[in-house]
Structure 1
Amino acid sequence: MRIVSTFLLLMAMAVSLKAQKGIEWKQATAGGYTYRYVTNDPMGARFYTLKNGLTVILSKNTKEPRVAVRVAVRAGSNSDPVDHTGLAHYLEHLLFKGTDKYGSLDWSKEKPLLDQVEKLYEQYNKTTDPAQRKTIYQQIDQVSGEAAKYAIAGEYDRMMKVLGSQATNAHTWVEETVYEEDIPANAMDKFLAIQAERFRYPVFRIFHTELEAVYEEKNRGLDNDGNKMQEAMFSSIFPTHHYGQQTTIGTIEHLKNPSIVAIRQFYDKFYVPNNMAIIMAGDFNPDELVAKIDKQFAFMQPKPVEEYKGPKEAPINGPEVKEVFGPSAESVRLVYRAPAAGTRDAMLADLASSVLSNGNAGLIDLNLNKQQKVLGAGAGLWQYRDYGIFFLVASPKQGQTLEAAKDLLMGQLNDLKNGNFEESLIPAIVANSKLNELQGLENNGNRVNQLMDDYIKSKGASWNKNVAMIDEMKKVSKKELSDFAKGFFTDNNYVILYKRKGEDKNVTKVDKPPITPVETNEGKTSPFVAAVIESKLPAVKPVWIDYDNDLQKRQLNNAELLYVPNKENGLFRLTYQFDMGGWNNKLLPIAAQYLEYLGTDKLTSEAISKQFYNLACSFDVQPGDDQTAITISGLGENFEKAVRLFEDLIRNCQPDAEALENLKATILKARANNKLNKGSIARGLQSYAYYGAQNPFNYVLPEAALQALKPEDLTTILHSLFNYQHKIGYYGPLSLTASSGSLKNLHPLPGSWTSAPAPVKFERITQGSNKVLFANYDAVQSEIFWVRSLSKYDPKNEALVNVFNNYFGGGMGTIVFSVIRESKALAYSTYAFVNTPSRKSDPFSFVAYVGSQADKMNDAIKAMNELLNDLPQVEQGFTNARTGLMKDMETDRIQPNAIIASYLNAQRKGITVDQRQVNYEAYKNITLNDLDAFHREKLSQQPYTYCVVASDKKVSLDDLKKYGELKVLSLEEIFGY
């Protein structure tokens, strides 16, 4: 649980004190550039508007030598033409395909063919006769294949890999398209040159195979009941606005009839400097950086941009009731249309959502989740320019109807409207927001995402309101919030969405078109990219952890205390690490769950939650397979109070029969829901493949034993937990002497440790022949995994494994991605990599994956098998993979708050030094021949276990038998219940 308190208002350091003096826009000039800033902004963000209208937003943070980047365009699915929905999203995909300078072997020969493809698509788009469309598509496929002979797939991703980027990605949503990176600070000059070229003249090459990837993405959405609920939520609340009437991925009909001309028109219209922002947070000199951005992007010319102006929606005359059907677990949502972003009502709605659900002490948290009246419930607000969506959600417990869960949610709304909550809750929520803000300052990604969100909503004009938000929330009284809730949550202005289990008869999948695999020219390089790769980056010296000097060790009675000082802020984190978990005792994970609902002889469970909340602290008990971690964290000056409160709880928690009976029902309902979840089924299949019928995934307490549990069975485990050997870790503002002295009193230890029960042993299967494990699931897609156990863990092999993964199939720009997605268009998502175990007793293991339409399953299996048997050898690709790892590691920093965890993880693997340093030195000597030898020895012509989750109505079991001995597993065999 995460707990915060009103005390944090005193702890907001200079930020809070300055905020009282006023928050307002100011202007300054430095380095020849004028910028705006908000006084007392904890991010210190600078807002520049360049001569061509391009917005540049910079937030300096020197904690590590990296920079998080967002290139934001204020156009998403809202701006799609009504006859070409999904266009903004598809354009996002195409911005990774290169320009006339990169991504092409010979632009003069490629361009005429691409022009021909464009014309054919326009003809295809306007043709309705099925036979003629088929003929035209055959021409598209043929000409696209010719054009692809001059295309080089994945050059953008390879450049980012060489730079050492950690987060190459992009996303499209209703009002935005955003391109994301996280780069080393020393790579900025190269990065800006690449980005300027990327947006100068994007070429829409390898079009029809990328379109097929979007088809796959659409089909994945059709298989996702959560996605279907989201679409129903938007369409119900916004019956006329594009928010609800144009999905980001587009309609099937529009996906089948793309127009390259329309995509180019969209790009020319919205990808203009006065509609875009470059937002960065990290280690840089803002005066120098803005000049570099200006120089690189001065070529962009502004144009008038007509923003989408949505209609004013009529009031909802409800409650309206909608139903969504699918195979996953049932749930209910109550959905309200919220006010526009930046308004005071939007702020009040946000505050109301936290009063209802903040994860700890909200009305829903205490009255529903804490009392186990539902399986789980919460509330939230999604805010956009014109409107927002306020929603409450609940999953019913065992035997509970969706209607009953809905009534419980309505009860919490009534409590909010009637003011049935403590006066102190609002200032506590405000304090929680302040704590989150202070913690968020440490993370560059958090900084750029907040700035990006504000730019999309207001072009950065409302950043002053964002900075002042916490101070404004402080002014809200309980009466004002209750009065707002009475007017906002009326008896008829909402939609009820029921997600029911059942067949969705409205699903229409996007059919597989006939696509001939295209050439990707793997290993070939354009002159532009060659220049990027060959030019040297300024040197950055890597920094390693020295476990003998960067953390201190002291004996605390018979336990080892690990200590790292926090010199950055006043927060602490205390950890108790046990070498035992669920494999030692099946009841331990259940006892940890039970603790959440228990009180002591002096305090109820609800009172304990509130006390932690007021101390600005939290605790978390996480039993793993063979380890258990307890964490207490929060405000340093409340360290002793928080630890004392937790120690009293775990040592003196009182049995509660009613809470246990509710917990049993909760566990059984969660188990039933897991059997409806495709991802859970896939994880169970893989565990079965690695270990056999008895495996860690299905090692659970049988229902009869669960039902027979008595409260004392679990409280006895909790009371005695500290009698087992454990290590203690302290990160915080106290000195080593002060922290150890305090812990001697707070955390009494036994004179001798109790021996932990011996853990159950699970032995990995050595595959002797190909096998196929199949689980039937009602889905459009097939999920295919290749599983294989490899040799025992040896730290000397980590570096080789890392380079292999970065070359072969551990992300975009790898061999697997290039062949299966970009060349053959067989999947939206695919990967293949070797897993490094977390403990020295475990072996390395291999997993590959393709998620494809069911009618592509055989082609997908064939394509992956070809790669597993014959490793394509691309020298430049290997060099990029190795160089990228080294560049990444040179700027990787283990922060002080993570040193103890790093040390404990190293101990589990039998390592006494920072393994990153060992790997870094080893990278220098690894060759492509080493990868080939590793591939031939471990993967090529080896037996695998295929794990397939698909509908037996859409895939042929006889086909699966061709790949190995087939075993169709029941859900009971997979889950153990």
Structure 2
Amino acid sequence: MFKKLSLAIFMLLFSLQTFAQKKYEWKEASGNGYTYKYVTNDPMNARFYTLKNGLTVILSPTKKDPRIQAYVAVKAGSKTDPRTNTGLAHYLEHMVFKGTDKYGSLDWAKEKPELDKIDALYEQYNKTKDDAQRKAIYKKIDSVSGVASKFAIANEYDKMMASMGAQGTNAFTSFEQTVYTDDVPSSSLNKYLAVQGERFRNPILRIFHTELEAVYEEKNRSLDSDGSKVFETLFAQLFKNHNYGQQTTIGTVQDLKNPSLIEIRKYFHNYYVPNNMGVILSGDFDPDVVIAQVDKAFSYMQNKPVAKYTFTPEVAITSPVIKEITGPDAENLTIGYRLPGNKDKDVLIADLVGQVLTNGKAGLMDLNLVKKQKLLRASAQTFTLIDYGVLYISAAPTNGQSLEEVKSLVLGEIDNLKKGNFDQELITSIINNIKKNKIYESEKYDDRASSLMDAFTSELNWRDQVAYVNDLSKISKADIVAFANKYLGENYVAILKRKGESPASQKIEKPQITPVETNADKQSAFVKMVNEMPNNPSTPVFLDYNKDIQKSMLGKAEVLYVPNTDNQIFRLKYRYKIGSLNDLKQPLASQYLQFLGTDKMSAEDISKAFYKIACNFTIASGEEYTTVSIEGLQENFDAAVKLYEDLIQNVKADDVALKSLKERLAKARKDVKANKGAILQGLTSYALYGEKNKFNNVLSNSEMEATTSKELVDRIKNLNNYEQTVIYYGPASLKDLDSKLKIMHQVPANFAVATPEKVFKQTKQVKNKVLFTDYDMVQAETRWIRNTDQYDAKKNTVVKVFNNYFGGGMGSIVFQTIRESKALAYSTYGVYVQPQKKDQEYYMMSYVGSQADKFNDATTAMTELLTKMPDLAGNLNLAKTQVKKDIQTERITQDNIIFNYLAAKELGLNEDPRKNIYSSVDNIKMEDLKTFHDTNFSGKPYTYAIVASEKRVPMKDLEKLGEVKKISLEELFGY
């Protein structure tokens, strides 16, 4: 076995040397009258154009899917916010969705005077200090905003994008970037570019005070997040001068309370200029055609100088800075070291340093702390920005361990790094794995676009990104040790996040807002023009399970096979028909395996062996299946599979490892009970299935503690005796795969019979009930849960259309009403969830996350929508169009073909379910949706799952919704 492993490593090294011999140079070419630059041997085939006005256009064509990931990126973010108006870049990002003078307005001539009044009122509001006077002015703002909204059309941008089949429409703001993102069908690119050109011409700050309230909600969510507090505190201590630490992206409460529309427009005119912006596209298109289209759409933009951000250099940290934070989430440690910016020569080494510390498998902290179970978890990564970087280390204690002990262990591994206590071959292994990840990165159009966009906003040379693996291979162990000793001394900041009551935070009070008009059934002339633009929609491609999947038998196990014709990556899975519903100790056995070795190899040896050959294996037990996944480069298929099979056949019990695992799981259980997201999920499961449900179907603490090594090792060794399916996606032929697996993977003559699955039946809601768990937070998280009927494939189409129409996106009724019109929540939705098996039931899950003082209004608003659904014919047409376009451009490929087939089988289907949806979607009428809504939701009882602070949401408010039951954490989690 070791000889074979050595051969595999040799093959990887040979491959890496071949990779390193390539030349990476900037070249120039032209097409269709446009000159562009490109980097030789770039797997993404990216073209870099600079238009006459300075706009950067980056095009990376790939024909696999008839879609395009599109970004419009601005090299400006919170770093360049004025000190007097923090959060401004983020404000502006929200407002760019509100339209221009051409769309988003019913009558611009009438709307503009009202918006001008609002501008003036906000300036007056900002200069006024007296609370009573400020409230009076805000009342005027609210009143005039109501008048202005009569001439506005909310969400026209979202509706335009939906009508052309866009997905993932959104935006994000960070330190140095504001990025607008859409994933559009190739056939709609002309429409997309027409809209983007108009979108950035003259953004109008309409429906401002309700959108500002959404930003308030976003701020309050951050005030509830211990993770956000840790991050902000760390950066504030690392950067005493620079805006990385002195300003947050979302801004201060004080600045949020005093916005200036004049300052927002000034920011737009200063930074949203072509020489500071980029259009990045990757997908199915002809770059010679597309560059002319982009030029036409954005040629009106005029180049202007952009002021460079300047700062006073940071003073060196000469001794550790220790800060403590308390909050309801689980305790953890965060350590940060300040590093140079991304242009520094040492940055390449910094990336390797992060990987040497943790790479998920064979880093110093992986092997010495996590694999040996000295910590619950640990990670290290470089966070590199233009002016500075940070080595960001995070760790969590195991049972009975203090944060001070965690810090000592982490710093011990930093010390090992500085002393060079790691093998040279670890660097080679890291580079091989990065090489594999680069293959993954270039596979998908959206990953390509993301990498190119990040490089653009970070002002990185793309040649260096293409040559990344080659350049990394030149770094020696001595370079890494020198770097560690240079930058990683007593100059760190440590944040000790302790569990406890959050200190009182400056909360943003709820203003009085009168719901504004959304004119959801109206349409501007510009939108009509865009909708009428010609396009040739793609023809849908449906799966044929009999043709798209090849099958064979490995003994009694079925083999499902799809070839990889793109590269040398393989993914092999053994899918065993046993899970937690059969045996609660099976998931524990799967977890235990990662800490075990054989008589010849320790658990650490096995991790290093897999990592050396750029392969990986995982084992995970779900409710019904336990799945072993092995992936990597095909040239190392034999070595990887034999490593795994040898481990399973010769696994050796380790009582010390099990004792440590139990301690870690005990701490993980304690920690998860402090996580509000997990609490809400537990309440949801309680609402679906009752007191005993899938969420708390776990081993009790005493059962877990009593479990022996022998019990778990027996389960590991017996796993291969159960009914199984072999799934393979890779470059080998099915014949070659079968011949290899017949030797390496022994399937039993007869499968063992698993213990019958435990059955959980969904409950019937007969009256309104409230399941409530108290949590120290500013927000209130509320879900409406209602089980309905058993799965019926005939309902697939109406369910799909209803979700798009009612509450599945930003153009939906729920979002428009609760967020856009009433400003009651940052996040809200309402979806009818399809079961995964034919004998299970659908259920409705609606959600509102709001400030606690908006709880009554928010719950009333959602209940009204569940009681009476608005009738908007235009929105229905939009919902149907989106369903069709999604199917037209969706390409299910790779091993997703197999998983789609398996999912269809669970529902009793023998063909691609999209086929019937596509052929019947045009037949859905409004009366169908109304009947569907009335039958399943209107006037029906619900179970409310609510996580909130009982200090902020009074019991009397909960009782208005239904019979209240307070659920303890022990009831919820089952331990």
Q: Same fold (TM over 0.5)?
A: yes
1:945 corresponds to: 943
The C-alpha deviation readout for 1:169-196, integer Å capped at 9, x for no partner, is 1000011100001111110101100011
1:679 corresponds to: 677
Q: C-alpha distance in 2, partners of 1:183/1:723?
A: 47
Q: C-alpha distance in 1, partners of 2:6/2:156?
A: 50
Higher mean C-alpha deviation, range 841-850 or range 560-569: 560-569
Q: Relative to 1, partners in 2 of residues 1:13 and 1:69: Cα closer, same or farther, differing over 3 Å?
A: farther
1:98 corresponds to: 99
2:850 corresponds to: 852
Q: C-alpha distance in 2, partners of 1:827/1:847?
A: 16
The C-alpha deviation readout for 1:409-433, integer Å capped at 9, x for no partner, is 0011011111101110111111111
Higher mean C-alpha deviation, range 304-313 or range 814-823: 304-313
Q: TM-score, normalized by length of structure 1?
A: 0.98
1:751 corresponds to: 749
| C-alpha deviation, 1:435, in angstroms | 0.7
2:960 corresponds to: 962
1:75 corresponds to: 76
Is the contact between residue 85 and residue 246 of structure 1 (CA under 8 Å) also seen in structure 2?
A: yes
Is the contact between residue 8 and residue 435 of structure 1 (CA under 8 Å) also seen in structure 2?
A: no
The C-alpha deviation readout for 1:868-900, integer Å capped at 9, x for no partner, is 000101101110111011111111001123211
Q: C-alpha distance in 2, partners of 1:390/1:21?
A: 31
Equivalent of 2:656 in 631, 655, 658: 658
1:865 equivalent to 2:866? Answer no
Q: C-alpha distance in 2, partners of 1:441/1:260?
A: 41
Is the contact between residue 88 and residue 177 of structure 1 (CA under 8 Å) also seen in structure 2?
A: yes
Alignment of 1:695-774 (within 5 A): 695-774=693-772
1:425 corresponds to: 426
| C-alpha deviation, 1:327, in angstroms | 0.4
Amino acid at match of 1:474: S
| C-alpha deviation, 1:12, in angstroms | 9.7
Q: Relative to 1, partners in 2 of residues 1:411 and 1:15: Cα closer, same or farther, differing over 3 Å?
A: closer
Amino acid at match of 1:469: Y
**How many residues in Structure 1 have an aligned counterpart in Structure 2?**
971
The C-alpha deviation readout for 1:698-754, integer Å capped at 9, x for no partner, is 111011111111100100001011111111112222222211121111111111111
The C-alpha deviation readout for 1:451-486, integer Å capped at 9, x for no partner, is 11111122x5x1112222211111111112111111
1:443 corresponds to: 444
Q: C-alpha distance in 1, partners of 2:181/2:451?
A: 14
1:454 corresponds to: 455
1:479 corresponds to: 478
Give secondary structure in 2 for the equivalent of 1:240. Answer: coil
Is the contact between residue 781 and residue 950 of structure 1 (CA under 8 Å) also seen in structure 2?
A: yes
The C-alpha deviation readout for 1:637-690, integer Å capped at 9, x for no partner, is 221221121112122211100000011111111110011000000000000111
1:893 equivalent to 2:881? Answer no
| C-alpha deviation, 1:9, in angstroms | 9.0
Amino acid at match of 1:785: R
Q: C-alpha distance in 1, partners of 2:870/2:22?
A: 64
Higher mean C-alpha deviation, range 598-607 or range 244-253: 598-607
| C-alpha deviation, 1:949, in angstroms | 0.4
Higher mean C-alpha deviation, range 50-59 or range 620-629: 620-629
Higher mean C-alpha deviation, range 750-759 or range 529-538: 529-538
2:564 corresponds to: 566
Is the contact between residue 6 and residue 428 of structure 1 (CA under 8 Å) also seen in structure 2?
A: no
The C-alpha deviation readout for 1:929-967, integer Å capped at 9, x for no partner, is 111110010011000001110000001111111111000
Q: CA RMSD in A?
A: 1.5
Higher mean C-alpha deviation, range 192-201 or range 629-638: 629-638
| C-alpha deviation, 1:509, in angstroms | 1.1
2:495 corresponds to: 497
Give secondary structure in 2 for the equivalent of 1:167. Answer: strand
| C-alpha deviation, 1:799, in angstroms | 1.6
Give secondary structure in 1 for the equivalent of 2:443. Answer: coil
Q: C-alpha distance in 1, partners of 2:109/2:280?
A: 35
Is the contact between residue 5 and residue 431 of structure 1 (CA under 8 Å) also seen in structure 2?
A: no
1:367 corresponds to: 368
| C-alpha deviation, 1:17, in angstroms | 4.0
In structure 1, list runs of 5 or more residues that go unmatched: none
Q: C-alpha distance in 2, partners of 1:547/1:279?
A: 36
Give secondary structure in 1 for the equivalent of 2:580. Answer: coil
Q: Relative to 1, partners in 2 of residues 1:871 and 1:221: Cα closer, same or farther, differing over 3 Å?
A: same
Alignment of 1:323-362 (within 5 A): 323-362=324-363
Q: TM-score, normalized by length of structure 2?
A: 0.98
Is the contact between residue 432 and residue 612 of structure 2 (CA under 8 Å) also seen in structure 1?
A: no
Q: C-alpha distance in 1, partners of 2:443/2:402?
A: 44
Equivalent of 1:523 in 521, 529, 537: 521
Is the contact between residue 869 and residue 939 of structure 1 (CA under 8 Å) also seen in structure 2?
A: yes
2:147 corresponds to: 146
Amino acid at match of 1:538: N
Q: C-alpha distance in 2, partners of 1:229/1:236?
A: 11
Is the contact between residue 47 and residue 58 of structure 2 (CA under 8 Å) also seen in structure 1?
A: yes
Q: C-alpha distance in 2, partners of 1:132/1:8?
A: 74
Alignment of 1:589-608 (within 5 A): 589-608=587-606
1:552 corresponds to: 550
Higher mean C-alpha deviation, range 340-349 or range 169-178: 340-349
Percent sequence identity over aligned pairs: 50
1:381 equivalent to 2:382? Answer yes
1:786 corresponds to: 784
| C-alpha deviation, 1:16, in angstroms | 6.9
Amino acid at match of 2:583: N
Q: Relative to 1, partners in 2 of residues 1:401 and 1:860: Cα closer, same or farther, differing over 3 Å?
A: same
| C-alpha deviation, 1:860, in angstroms | 0.2
Give secondary structure in 2 for the equivalent of 1:924. Answer: helix
Q: C-alpha distance in 2, partners of 1:341/1:218?
A: 29
2:269 corresponds to: 268
The C-alpha deviation readout for 1:288-320, integer Å capped at 9, x for no partner, is 111110011100111110021222101012201
2:969 corresponds to: 971
Give secondary structure in 2 for the equivalent of 1:322. Answer: strand
Is the contact between residue 6 and residue 430 of structure 1 (CA under 8 Å) also seen in structure 2?
A: no
Amino acid at match of 2:673: K
Alignment of 1:14-33 (within 5 A): 17=18, 20-33=21-34
Q: C-alpha distance in 2, partners of 1:377/1:723?
A: 35
The C-alpha deviation readout for 1:743-775, integer Å capped at 9, x for no partner, is 111111111111110111111100000000110
| C-alpha deviation, 1:15, in angstroms | 9.7
The C-alpha deviation readout for 1:237-258, integer Å capped at 9, x for no partner, is 0011000001000000000000
Give secondary structure in 1 for the equivalent of 2:716. Answer: helix
Q: C-alpha distance in 1, partners of 2:87/2:69?
A: 27
Higher mean C-alpha deviation, range 906-915 or range 942-951: 906-915
Q: C-alpha distance in 1, partners of 2:192/2:448?
A: 20
Give secondary structure in 2 for the equivalent of 1:99. Answer: coil
Is the contact between residue 19 and residue 470 of structure 2 (CA under 8 Å) also seen in structure 1?
A: no
2:234 corresponds to: 233
Amino acid at match of 1:782: A
Is the contact between residue 273 and residue 301 of structure 2 (CA under 8 Å) also seen in structure 1?
A: yes
In structure 2, list runs of 5 or more residues that go unmatched: none
Amino acid at match of 1:502: G
